[in-house]
Chains A and B, each alone.
Chain A
Amino acid sequence: MNRNPEHVLVFRSNIKTENDKYRVSSLLDTHPLIKDWSVDTSDEDCVLRVVSEQLQQEQIIHLVSKCGYQCEELQD
């Protein structure tokens, strides 16, 4: 059974402000395998949500770290 039919990956992050969001957008917006992404800056965990059929969690974590930010899997 597909555990995640929507292909959504969610992370706790330190992307807290609009400026932070802008800085990660340079890589996430242009990535060909990312269909959609968003950060809920109103949430205490600043949840980063990425929609991608192909990318794995580790790849997203790596991408975000390249922009100078951290994220980790939001546990069930």
Chain B
Amino acid sequence: MRTRDADKELLVKQTAIQMLVADGFEGFSMNKLAKACNVSVATLYIYYKDKDDLIIKIAIEEGKEMNDATLRNFNADMPFAEGLRRQWENRYKYMTEHADSLQFFDQLRSSTYQEKVFDNITHNFKEVLGQFVLNAEKRGEINKMAIETYWSVAFAPLYALIRFHNQGKSMGGKPFTISNKILWETFDLVLKAFKK
């Protein structure tokens, strides 16, 4: 990829995320990544200054992609139940198709990269989702509440199910695969919790 090659760049990004998830930030190096992707170390350094620069750039890019996927066909003016359902569909789809990314972001959240990454990707995202909740409050569809309360009730159950699914097991190692039935019956309970 001395000349920009979109396929190679994607390969580098995906491989880097896989390696970071498998080996952690400490075990990761530019040399190992170059070998795994079958590109030269020189090529990697054309695009990234060092390991930190690579991790931050890849995380920001991946984060933006995740936010775009989450906001697909969604707008802040949707009726509450419909908007929340769309959010569930979008998040579920993205996170089951990109299991590594979910783990990568968990790692980033508890790392020193946190500030540099999340300040850069959450701006527009927070605005749209904040406005969605505000609109639902104004229309009297839900009670006024802290955004953290909203988020915890709205999405923590979904993320718990996705984690079980991605790990292939739930509590106490019980084998688990998510089904539409489980997904949407959980959603209905969440919706019930918001109903006034």
Contacts and interface: CB of A to CB of B under 8 A. Distances in A.
A18 interface: no
B78 interface: no
Interface in A31-76: 38, 40, 42-45, 47, 49, 74-76
Main SS class of interface, A = loop
Contacts, number: 49
A76 B46 CA distance: 11
B30 A43 contact: yes
Contacts of A38: 49-50
Interface in A1-56: 1-6, 8, 10, 38, 40, 42-45, 47, 49
Main SS class of interface, B = helix
B45 A5 contact: no
A61 to B, nearest CB: 15
B2 interface: yes
B51 interface: yes
Contacts of B42: 10, 74-76
B2 A4 contact: yes
Size class of B's contact patch? 10 to 19
A4 B2 CA distance: 6
Contact of B49 (A2, A49, A74, A76): A49
B35 interface: no
Interface string B43-86: 10111011100000000000000000000000000000000000
16 contacts: A3-B3, A5-B3, A10-B45, A40-B49, A42-B51, A43-B31, A43-B51, A45-B41, A47-B45, A47-B50, A49-B49, A74-B41, A74-B45, A76-B2, A76-B42, A76-B43
Interface of B: 2-4, 29-31, 40-43, 45-47, 49-51
CB-based closest 10 A-B pairs: A40-B50, A74-B42, A10-B45, A76-B40, A38-B49, A8-B46, A10-B42, A3-B2, A47-B45, A49-B45
